[in-house]
Amino acid sequence: MTASATVGLILFDLAKPACEYNRAMRGWSFPLGRFFGVEVRIHAFFLLLLAVAIGLGSLAGASTGRGLMLWLLLLFAVAVREVARSLAAAWFGLELGGILLLPTGGLSTYATREATERAAGPAIERRMAVVGPLANIGFGLLLAAIVLASTPGINLLQRPWIAPSHLLRAMVWLNLLLGVINLLPAFPLDGGRFFRRAPTTGAQEGKGERRPAAPGAEAATGLGAGLGAGLRWGRSAGLGQWIAIALIITGLLLNNMWLLIMGAFVLIAAHMESQNLLVRNDADSVLMRDVMLTQFSTLSASDTLEDALQRAVHSLQDVFPVVRGGNLVGAVSRQNIMEALATNGNSYVQGVMTRSFQTALPEDSLVNTLGRISGAQGAQLVPVMQGERIVGIVTPQNLSQSMGLLNQSRRIRRPEDS
């Protein structure tokens, strides 16, 4: 297999999950703009709800404007949740890259690999999972208190709770409903992400030490462990789909169109979660400095092929950067050196080296760099430059091993963040 083909296969493996993410999340969404450097997009399903809200308004004898206002109130409730989550992300030092607005809330992506890793840690993920529901419930209760204090004649418990005929009452219940639904232990809702990190007693087994428990603590710990294990089983068994079906049935029994719509979307989102379409793959945040070789050998353009072969024998490198006076001028592989010696005898490295190559910076994205060079002829080596100095190299041969070790190190570090 040629080096270009190897780079192409590596690029395909790395970029495929990212492409799925882009198709699922960006292909069905529309940009709303950038706010404080964060790209905000709205999902097409949200726009479909606009037609539903206007239709419900017409059936209830309300004007089109009231149906539009009802839709805007749902968008506002989602905005309340996402503003709170954005503030929490800033508090934890997480730099947001984008937010996708969905009828059940929003999905956030992060601007840097470090932020993505920290957000995936158990401690931060659990804290971020409760921010959105608490913000919606808290805002709904605050709004209800203001309404009852200022206009006591309004009955907030009168049904229908969410209807274009009474927008103030609908505003209160939309926030409460959005908060409560996100507390349900189903993916991709916040409750599912919170209970996924529920602690178990298994983490302490095998350490040769066990502390005595206070009265009642053993039962409580067992309950927490059982709940966490049950919810992890529920994810694999499709608990999200069952909760979505329960929401749909409840909406039908209560004649509540919004519960019906929320259940339908949770059902769709749970399916997308099970297909890993709602999760951005870590490969998209891998930088060149994460996988480059920093211990490497170079050859001089004036070296003879016999001298170069002797150095290659004592190195694990397959491809060598070629320099002249400290400047990078080409690259040559061990295979090219041996073929040139066998065909034409001893000569100089500059006569067989490849002069066409592309470089990268340490902070460049690995996926983007591979995509840029995948069509290049003889893409055997990518020198990583810091100014005029070579600080690392990436070859097809070392990339697969480096990615495997990087993923392993991330899995080891993540439990420490809890």
**How many residues does the structure list for the chain?**
418
pLDDT at 417 > cutoff 80 = no
Residue 9: the pLDDT is 46
Minimum mean pLDDT among 44-53, 226-235, 394-403: which range? 226-235
Tokens representing 250 are 């409840």
H or E stretch including 3? Answer: helix 3-21
pLDDT of residue 146: 94
pLDDT digits (tens, 9 = 90+) for 193-252: 787 654 444 433 333 343 433 434 333 334 344 444 444 444 433 677 788 888 888 878
Confidence label for 377 from pLDDT (cuts 50, 70 and 90):
low
By mean pLDDT, which of 8-17, 31-40, 257-266 is the weakest?
A: 8-17
Given the structure tokens 């400095």, which residue do they identify? Answer: 289
Distance from C-alpha of 72 to C-alpha of 64, rounded to nearest angstrom:
12
Q: What is the pLDDT of residue 251?
A: 79
Domain regions of the chain by residue span: 36-199+226-285, 288-417
Q: Which of 108, 117, 116 is nearest to 81 (CA)?
A: 108
Query: Average pLDDT in the 133-150 region?
Result: 95
In this predicted structure, what is the pLDDT of residue 50? 84
Backbone φ and ψ for 235, nearest 5 degrees, come out as -65, -45
CA distance linking residue 332 with residue 315, whole number of Å: 14
pLDDT of residue 253: 83
Which 8-state DSSP code applies to residue 292?
Answer: -
Give CA separation, 121 vs 58, 92, 100, 260, in Å: 47, 12, 21, 33
| pLDDT, tens digit (0-9, with 9 covering 90-100), for 152-195 | 888 888 888 888 888 899 999 999 999 998 888 876 688 877 87
CB 293 within 8 A of CB 398: yes
- The CA distances from residue 365 to 193, 240, 368, in Å, are 28, 34, 5
Q: How buried is residue 253: exposed, middle or buried, by Cβ count under 10 Å (0-12/13-18/19+)?
A: exposed
Residue range 110-117: mean pLDDT, rounded: 80
Architecture of domain 288-417: Roll (3.10)
